């Protein structure tokens, strides 16, 4: 049975990755998940300088989902290189660094700094974070500015470049086409959907940052639809994510056109979720006599 | 992570201890053996996808020999209401033990243990451990518990049975001192000195306590914050602390806490 996939030059031994911001730097879940068995580990959004993140509450539970407004808390690229990448390098797993910035130059600086860094297999360019004031989503919601970031990052690194797209747009296919033209090797989708909750007793927004990003099972149909549309629009491989809790959810993404999937919020509920998804995909392939995962990618379009 | 388990454990006991408060005990030998006072469990309240997240609840008691861990919880909202329905023989999905707990006192230290409302839950485990290892200094330990009413006060009899001196405060005056436990503590510390204080309760109580203890004793408090993962991965549970250099930064309650030194917290 062949589960291997190639995501714009990143060779994954199976199609199951972890989603940025939901799996820490791998260490946090290493007691539950043998990291060697994962298709890839995508680490938390990394910025040039350390970021403290937003005030609390940063998380609210919503129907079958969560809203988060972490605000890209991270120790900055130097600390990630020093403290976290060496740990992950001990495992036989491609590590994808999610990068974020306020300005195009920030992304370029990050791409240049991470180029050639041992243990980095690729960059996921976060142009879709709803939780920071500047940058983030502002880049990803317009095809031209999204393309500008990707073009500059592409020029600054030899690493595979994955554009992470936001669903908070009128046409996600148009943004995908634009970043593909600008040189993206793959796209990840979806980042969280902008949302909010009001605490009626306090008569105030529940999250300190007012708005947050929705994830979990509640967003899955939106995410599957986005993968479906983008698969029809571009030729580069897609990493699908959004509410994947089990193998059946993951298979929906693969059949809609994703070459790989990422497990996010599910890990909070079930620390072993990523491996459970992988084992479930294997079982499905066995039961249905599918010899190669590639035979399932986009099959729902046939 | 070494020594953190995620399994479905059988319920061995589940009962109401006061209106809206329940005691849930699980047969979970490895957690019972590996846990320390102040640590918590991340509990799945139902099998479904809604409500989605686990709920953090302190370990109320761990019987190492008997292999049991118990939590004492208030039925607060959707999750805990669902949890209230599990019966002996059912299984509950638990992740734990998690977080950093209390540091036990050094021999002979004068100790105050201060708990407000359901926040007192983890202090029972602490008191039991102290009784085991510091038994001959029990008379140097003062316990202060507060609740809205006497009825809502968790486990006063148990604490006295353990041999501790207990003072209580109730908001309505139905038992002991009329007022909050922080006020009671302030009064009591007028004529007693403490080397070490352990506390658990909501931020307003901790602020009053911080003002009442002064700079002398080492104060350890357990903090609550909304959580996602419980293991340090999602960064939801931030709380503000003062770093060694004096700058204010975020720590994470699930990993760096839930027990912190009060002097490090920015309340
Ligand atoms: C480290 C720690 C230890 C705790 N120990 C205990 C204990 O021993 N006994 C006890 O009764 N309670 C304890 N709590 C509080 C307990 O977690 C909440 O009462 C519980 O999560 C409420 O869930 P719910 O679904 O009933 O309420 P809902 O209001 O429906 O919950 C909605 C969401 O908000 C979160 N939430 C609500 N209140 C709190 C709170 N106070 N702290 C953190 N998250 C909250 C829930 O986890 C959930 O994600 C502790 C909290 C923390 C952080
Ligand atoms: C707590 C949290 C933090 C996140 N942080 C990031 C981040 O730093 N960078 C990023 O590109 N996406 C981040 N995401 C988005 C996820 O990677 C993923 O795209 C999204 O949550 C949808 O997947 P899910 O429903 O499986 O969680 C975060 C999501 C959550 C819940
Ligand atoms: S709850 Fe996820 S980091 Fe603390």
User: Do the Cβ atoms of A119 and A81 come closer than 8 Å?
Assistant: no
CATH superfamily of B223-267: Dihydroorotate dehydrogenase, electron transfer subunit (2.10.240.10)
Domain that includes residue A78, residue range: 5-54+68-194+214-301
Per-residue confidence in pLDDT tens, chain B, 267 aa: 459 999 999 999 999 998 999 999 999 999 999 999 999 999 999 999 999 999 999 999 999 999 999 999 999 999 999 999 999 999 999 999 999 999 999 888 999 999 988 889 999 999 999 988 877 788 899 999 999 998 888 788 889 989 999 999 999 988 889 999 989 998 888 778 899 999 987 788 888 888 888 778 899 999 999 999 999 999 999 999 998 888 888 999 999 999 999 989 987
Which ligand approaches the C-alpha of residue A44 most closely? Answer: 2
- Is the separation of the CB atoms in B226 and A58 below 8 Å? yes
Q: Chain B within 8 Å of A267 (Cβ-Cβ)?
A: yes
Centroid of chain to Cα B208: 18
| CATH 2.60.40.10 given to domain B5-98 | no
- Does the interface ipTM go beyond 0.85? yes
Query: A85: Cβ–Cβ under 8 A, 6 or more apart, which residues?
Result: A95, A97, A117, A118, A119, A120
Looking at chain B, the domain(s) classified CATH 2.10.240.10 span 223-267
Residues of B in contact with A24 (CB under 8 A): 229, 231-234
Residue among B227, B214, B234, B216 nearest B258 (CA) = B227
Residue A300 is given by DSSP the state: G
Band of residue A130 on the pLDDT scale cut at 50, 70, 90: low
Q: What is the spatial distance between Cα B231 and Cα A90, in angstroms, rounded to a whole number?
A: 21
How far, in Å, are A86, B17, B127, B132, B164 from residue B138 at the CA level? Answer: 48, 26, 10, 10, 6
Among residues A153, A167, A90, the alpha carbon closest in space to that of A123 is found at A153
CB contact (8 A) between residue B250 and residue A53: yes
Local structure of residue A75 (DSSP, 8 states): -
pLDDT of A87 over the 60 cut: yes
CB proximity list for A102: less than 8 A, separation 6 or greater:
A132, A134, A135
B223 lines ligand 3 (CB under 6 A): no
pLDDT band at A84 (very low <50, low <70, confident <90, very high): very high
Taking CA–CA distances from A212, the nearest residue in chain B reads B236
Average predicted confidence (pLDDT) for chain A? 95
Residue B56 pairs in a beta bridge with B42
The C-alpha torsion from B42 through B44 and B50 to B51, rounded to 10°, is -50
Most distant CA pair in chain A, distance: 56
pLDDT for residue A191: 96
From A69, A215, A224, A249, the mutation candidate for ligand 2 (largest count of ligand atoms within 8 A of CB) is A215
Q: What is the pLDDT of residue A137?
A: 72
Interface of B with A in 95-154 (CB under 8 A): 95
The separation between the first and the last C-alpha atoms of chain A, rounded to the nearest angstrom, is 22
B232 vs chain A: nearest CA distance in angstroms?
6
Q: Classify residue B108 by burial, with Cβ atoms within 10 Å: 0-12, 13-18, 19+.
A: exposed
Closest CA–CA distance from residue A264 to any residue of chain B (Å): 10
CATH fold for domain B103-222: Rossmann fold (3.40.50)
The answer to whether residue A129 is catalytic is: yes
Compute φ and ψ for A259, nearest 5 degrees.
Answer: -80, -25
| Spatial separation of the C-alpha atoms in residues A65 and A59, rounded to whole Å | 11
pLDDT of residue A215: 98
| A187: CATH | 3.20.20.70
Asked whether residue A206 is assigned to any structural domain, the reply reads: no
Residues of B in contact with A245 (CB under 8 A): 49
Name the packing angle between helices A143-156 and A104-114 (round to 10°): 30
Task: For residue A96, give the nearest of A191, A183, A12 by alpha carbon.
Answer: A12
Question: A23 in contact with B at a CB cutoff of 8 Å?
Answer: yes
Q: Specify the pLDDT at position A273.
A: 98
The three state secondary structure string of chain B is CCCCEEEEEEEEEEEEEECCEEEEEEECHHHHHHCCCCCEEEECCCCCCCCCCCEEEECCEEECCCCEEEEEEECCCHHHHHHCCCCCCCEEEEEEEECECCCCCCCCCCEEEEEEHHHHCCHHHHHHHHHHHCHHHHHHEEEEEEECCCCCCCCHHHHHHCCCEEEEEECCCCCCEECCHHHHHHHHCCCCCCCEEEEECCHHHHHHHHHHHCCCCEEEEECCCCCCCCCCCCCCCEEEEECCCCCEEEEEHHHHCEEEEHHHECC
Give start-end residues of each CATH 2.40.30.10 domain in chain B: 5-98
What is the residue whose two structure tokens read 């329905």?
Answer: B85
Residues across chain A: 302
Q: Work out how many domains chain A is built from and give that number.
A: 1
Q: Is residue A229 part of a domain?
A: yes
Helix (H, G, I), strand (E, B), or coil: what is residue A264?
A: coil
pLDDT band at A272 (very low <50, low <70, confident <90, very high): very high
The pLDDT of residue B138 is: 85
- B:215-254 residues touching chain A, CB 8 A cutoff: 225-239, 249-250
Residue A135 has pLDDT above 70, yes or no: no
CA A20 to ligand 2 centroid distance, Å: 5
Chain A residue at shortest CA distance from B251: A52
What pLDDT does residue A133 have?
59
Q: Please name the residues between 50 and 69 in chain A that touch chain B, using a CB distance below 8 Å.
A: 52-53, 55-61, 63-66, 68
Give the chain B residue nearest A62 (alpha carbons): B51
Whether B92 and B123 have beta carbons less than 8 Å apart is answered as no
Give, for A213, the enclosing helix (H) or strand (E): strand A211-215
pLDDT of residue A134: 62
- Backbone dihedral angles phi then psi of residue A301, each to the nearest 5 degrees: -80, -15
What mean pLDDT do residues A111-132 have?
89
């Amino acid at each position: 049975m062949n589960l291997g996939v190639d995501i714009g030059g990143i060779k994954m031994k199976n199609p199951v990755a972890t989603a940025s911001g939901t799996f820490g730097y791998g260490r946090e879940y290493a007691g539950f998940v043998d990291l060697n068995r994962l298709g890839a580990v995508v680490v938390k959004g990394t910025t040039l300088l350390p970021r403290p993140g937003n005030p609390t509450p940063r998380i609210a539970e919503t129907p079958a989902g969560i809203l988060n407004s972490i605000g890209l808390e991270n120790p900055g690229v130097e600390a990630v290189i020093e403290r976290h990448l060496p740990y992950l390098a001990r495992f036989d797993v491609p590590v994808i660094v999610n990068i974020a910035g306020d300005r195009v130059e920030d992304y370029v600086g990050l791409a240049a700094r991470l180029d050639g860094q041992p243990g980095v297999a690729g960059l996921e360019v976060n142009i879709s974070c709803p939780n920071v004031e500047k940058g983030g989503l502002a880049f990803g919601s317009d095809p031209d500015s999204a393309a500008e970031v990707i073009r500059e990052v592409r020029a600054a690194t030899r690493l595979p470049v994955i554009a992470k797209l936001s669903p908070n747009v009128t046409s996600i296919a148009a943004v995908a086409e634009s970043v593909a033209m600008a040189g993206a090797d793959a796209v990840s989708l979806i980042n969280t959907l902008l949302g909010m909750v009001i605490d009626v007793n306090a008569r105030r927004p529940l999250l300190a940052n007012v708005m947050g990003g929705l994830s979990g099972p509640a967003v899955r149909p939106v995410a599957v639809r986005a993968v479906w549309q983008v698969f029809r629009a571009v030729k580069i491989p897609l990493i699908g994510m959004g509410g994947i809790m089990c193998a059946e959810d993951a298979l929906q993404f693969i059949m809609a056109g994703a070459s790989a999937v990422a497990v996010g919020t599910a890990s909070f509920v079930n620390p072993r979720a990523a491996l459970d998804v992988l084992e479930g995909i294997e079982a499905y392939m066995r039961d249905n006599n599918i010899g190669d995962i590639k035979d399932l990618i986009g099959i729902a379009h046939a | 992570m070494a020594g953190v388990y995620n399994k479905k454990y059988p319920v061995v006991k589940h009962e109401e201890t006061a209106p809206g408060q329940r005691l849930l005990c699980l047969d979970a030998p490895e957690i019972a053996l590996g846990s320390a006072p102040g640590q918590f469990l991340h509990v799945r309240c139902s099998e479904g996808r809604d409500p989605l997240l686990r709920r953090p609840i302190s370990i109320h008691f761990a019987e190492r020999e008997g292999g049991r861990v118990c939590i004492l919880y208030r039925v607060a909202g959707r999750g805990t209401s669902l949890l209230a329905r599990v019966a002996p023989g059912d299984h509950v999905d638990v992740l734990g033990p998690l977080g950093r707990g209390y540091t036990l006192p050094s021999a002979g230290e004068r100790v105050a243990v201060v708990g407000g409302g359901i926040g007192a839950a983890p202090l029972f485990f602490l008191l039991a451990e102290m009784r085991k290892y510091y038994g001959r200094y029990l008379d140097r330990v003062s316990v202060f518990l507060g609740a809205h009413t006497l009825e809502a006060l968790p486990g006063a009899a148990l604490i006295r049975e353990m041999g501790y001196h207990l003072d209580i405060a109730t908001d309505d005056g139905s038992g002991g001192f009329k007022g909050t436990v922080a006020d009671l503590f302030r009064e009591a510390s007028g004529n007693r000195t403490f080397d070490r204080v352990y506390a658990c309760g909501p931020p307003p109580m901790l602020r009053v306590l911080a003002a009442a203890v002064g700079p002398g004793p080492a104060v350890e408090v357990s903090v609550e914050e909304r959580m996602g993962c419980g293991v340090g991965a999602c960064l939801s549970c931030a709380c503000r602390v003062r770093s060694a250099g004096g700058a204010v930064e975020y720590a994470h309650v699930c990993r760096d806490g839930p027990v912190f030194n009060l002097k490090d917290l920015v309340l």
